[in-house]
Structure 1
């Protein structure tokens, strides 16, 4: 059942990203990611460190995927304490990513970016359309909702682990299913990161 859900979600994300790519390459100008994503917390108004902050966000999400792998492996070996530790680290990674995304959205909002508003200039100096911001907030918001859902699922898994639900069942199969979802969310971010921040 989980595979069907992940496939349907993959098609949804795929459709979003294909629509984004089609719109982007059909439009004459597009904002330069190095100009749009140049700031990071506590850097001040005139900071210019292209993609540093989003690279940190990506690193956090990848590390949380590693801790999820460790939680699944610990579950297969029936090591409750290791499952608890690695689930906690995965949850913290997810929350850190969401906090970073909230900061980025807030920063862009204060620069005048939102659905239907695009203050950024194209790389060629012309005024950009709202296509960039509309797609950015829709796709990163949709992905952020998936990360939030994954954090909630992992919190439920943590509670079930702490209350010995899996020990009584004799397996941690649900942790593996939660892991599939978490890895899917992380993989999708790689595509989102590439489309918006690198290309």
Structure 2
């Protein structure tokens, strides 16, 4: 205990308050980085909110063409959803392995996450190719333009996430679990889980509500 602290206690100050004050200072970089990345994610969510609003307005504008009930394959979408939700679980396992500095399990969990994400993209690409092949591309109607924009934008984010994931795997191999690498893994995990949340909204609003209508 410092002389200043002893004098302050002698003057009647609360020692518990003094101990709390002694530890005050700037937040750890990990917390600051996570908070800053959450701000970025919120801006991304605002963008998706605009796409959802546009889709909700244009969902009935089919130009006498097919609607959601005629176009969407619920079985295919269910498999996509399962793959993406499982990838969120394996991403969480990778984060735990990174915190424990277990390189083997980190690489395994990240590899499984990449495979599940790639499987999701393959099914989504097949759906898009099938729609375009039948003449139901984004130029067919305002409804399909909104659909391709919303779902395609999410798919682009998943593609970027997989590239980021592979980069993190390579960085761990080359540099280990340094503090800056740990912060990047945290940001990636936040990004990937946010994509899962957005997909749940897409699945509910676009596919479930669309086919029900």
**Match 2:157 to one of 146, 158, 166:** 146
**Match 1:105 to one of 107, 128, 131:** 128
Using the size of structure 1 for normalisation, the TM-score is: 0.80
Measured after TM superposition, the shift of residue 66 of structure 1 is: 0.3
Match of 1:191 in 2: 201
1:15 aligns with 2:38: no
Give the structure with the larger helix fraction: 2
Deviations 1:102-139 (A, max 9, x none): 1000011111111221xxxxxxxxxxxx1221011111
Counterpart contact for 1:78–1:172, Cα < 8 Å = no
- Cα distance in 2 for residues equivalent to 1:103 and 1:26: 24
Pick which of 28-37 and 132-141 moved more.
28-37
Using the size of structure 2 for normalisation, the TM-score is: 0.75
Distance 1:195 1:113, change over 3 A: same
- Cα distance in 2 for residues equivalent to 1:185 and 1:113: 26
Counterpart contact for 1:30–1:132, Cα < 8 Å = no
Match of 1:64 in 2: 87
What do you get for the CA RMSD once the two structures are aligned? 2.1
**Match 2:71 to one of 15, 36, 61:** 36
Distance 1:71 1:32, change over 3 A: same
Match of 1:160 in 2: 171
Measured after TM superposition, the shift of residue 8 of structure 1 is: 0.4
* Aligned length in residues: 174
Distance 1:197 1:29, change over 3 A: farther
1:82 aligns with 2:105: yes
Structure 1: gaps (5+ residues): 39-50, 118-129
Deviations 1:54-105 (A, max 9, x none): 1000100000000000000111111111110000011111111111111000
- Cα distance in 2 for residues equivalent to 1:156 and 1:170: 14
Counterpart contact for 1:31–1:132, Cα < 8 Å = no
Measured after TM superposition, the shift of residue 178 of structure 1 is: 0.4
Structure 2: gaps (5+ residues): 1-35
Deviations 1:112-170 (A, max 9, x none): 111221xxxxxxxxxxxx1221011111111111000100110001101222x233449
Match of 2:39 in 1: 4
* Secondary structure, counterpart of 2:137 in structure 1: coil
Query: Between Structure 1 and Structure 2, whose CA radius of gyration is higher?
Result: 2
